[in-house]
Homo-oligomer: A and B are copies of this chain.
């Protein structure tokens, strides 16, 4: 599992500029901007062009979803900002994709920042044992007004494919309830996706466990560290989002109906659950480190034991052989008829005592 090595600070690249300056800030080059306009109510839905509808957009009794993906076309985004009368700082936050998850309430709209997490197995990792997960995140900014939801995705993704499909199905609640329910559906979709990512990380942890406890692999420290780093990055996404959603529910802003609030509570529940899992994972990764350390110690112990056993058995024997290798003129034993076998017996006895001693120590 490889963490996304680029640490997300990078605010600095715009450090000299005045606040509210519209410059894209992020770790990646911005994707080309693509805008889709959906207008719908309980009875109809169509995808249309904004320029034909800008003034009276959306029509009476209609809701709209402006789905922007890719943030490279600053001009188009600026126009949307005018249409929705966004505060300059909001526009800046949309373009700076290093925001933490948060919500902000303005007089005319509610602004929300979430993170879409993408997980990729690096194909170049090769070995079947080591799954190398690369976790990256893309910013999703949502503007909610009375009748319009405007979502800005950092890059292109098909995470909302299911929602578009449900939107075109007239039997769905999504069509019957207002913009706030659509905003909830987007957030719920993003958070549900986290569970998928956590599942993958969970499998990763289990793989690591097996390899550490099984002892088949001696160099997992780098992977434990990468795991910890991935969990750290996840925490930076999940914790503030949980706080944001909980705060949003408590504040009960005008843009969100009570009916939708119950559904938001559900998202909040999921985030609490994700938090619990995240904390478990973090403690488990600490546990893996401890297991790994003790595995190292154990292995060292075993190595040392074998060295000690062999060395301590043979060192005295070699010493005995050394004695009878001395060239003194008068060494009576050397002339004994059974001197040689006697010395061999002495060696065997010595070795036997050693072995018994080690067996008593439970080393063998």
Binds B, one of A37-45, A148-156, A195-203: A195-203
> In the complex, are the beta carbons of B266 and A193 less than 8 A apart?
no
Given A89-B266, A287-B225, are A339 and B330 neighbors across the interface (CB < 8 Å)? yes
Residues 304 to 343 of chain A near chain B (Cβ within 8 Å): 304-308, 310-312, 314-319, 321-331, 333-337, 339-340, 343
* A-to-B contact residues, CB < 8 Å: 5, 7-12, 14-20, 87, 89, 93, 98-100, 102, 104, 162, 166, 172-174, 185, 188-189, 192-193, 195-196, 198-199, 202, 205-206, 209, 213, 218-219, 221-222, 225, 228-229, 232-233, 236, 240, 262-263, 265-266, 269-270, 272-273, 276-277, 280, 283-284, 287-301, 303-308, 310-312, 314-319, 321-331, 333-337, 339-340, 343-344, 363
> In the complex, are the beta carbons of B294 and A292 less than 8 A apart?
yes
Known: A98-B273, A326-B340. 15 other contacts (CB 8 A): A7-B280, A9-B277, A19-B188, A19-B266, A89-B266, A229-B284, A229-B287, A240-B272, A289-B294, A300-B304, A310-B311, A314-B316, A322-B325, A327-B331, A328-B343
* Cα of A339 to Cα of B331 in the assembled complex, Å: 9
Within the complex, which residue of B10, B290, B296, B297 is in contact with A225, where a contact is CB–CB below 8 Å? B290
Within the complex, which residue of B272, B290, B312, B325 is in contact with A307, where a contact is CB–CB below 8 Å? B312
> In the complex, are the beta carbons of B298 and A218 less than 8 A apart?
yes
Given A305-B303, A315-B311, are A329 and B321 neighbors across the interface (CB < 8 Å)? no
Residues on B with C-beta less than 8 A from A102 are: 269
> In the complex, are the beta carbons of A87 and B262 less than 8 A apart?
yes
Within the complex, which residue of B288, B299, B333, B339 is in contact with A301, where a contact is CB–CB below 8 Å? B299
Residues on B with C-beta less than 8 A from A292 are: 294
> In the complex, are the beta carbons of B314 and A319 less than 8 A apart?
yes
> In the complex, are the beta carbons of A339 and B328 less than 8 A apart?
yes
Residue of B whose beta carbon sits closest to that of A265: B104
Residues on B with C-beta less than 8 A from A336 are: 328-329
Residue of B whose beta carbon sits closest to that of A339: B328
Residues on B with C-beta less than 8 A from A225 are: 209, 213, 287-288, 290-291
* Cα of A316 to Cα of B311 in the assembled complex, Å: 9
Residues on B with C-beta less than 8 A from A7 are: 199, 202, 205-206, 277, 280
Residues on B with C-beta less than 8 A from A306 are: 308, 312
> In the complex, are the beta carbons of B293 and A297 less than 8 A apart?
yes
> In the complex, are the beta carbons of A325 and B321 less than 8 A apart?
yes
Given A225-B291, A262-B87, are A270 and B213 neighbors across the interface (CB < 8 Å)? no
8 tightest A-B contacts by CB? A321-B322, A11-B195, A324-B326, A12-B196, A7-B202, A307-B308, A328-B340, A12-B195
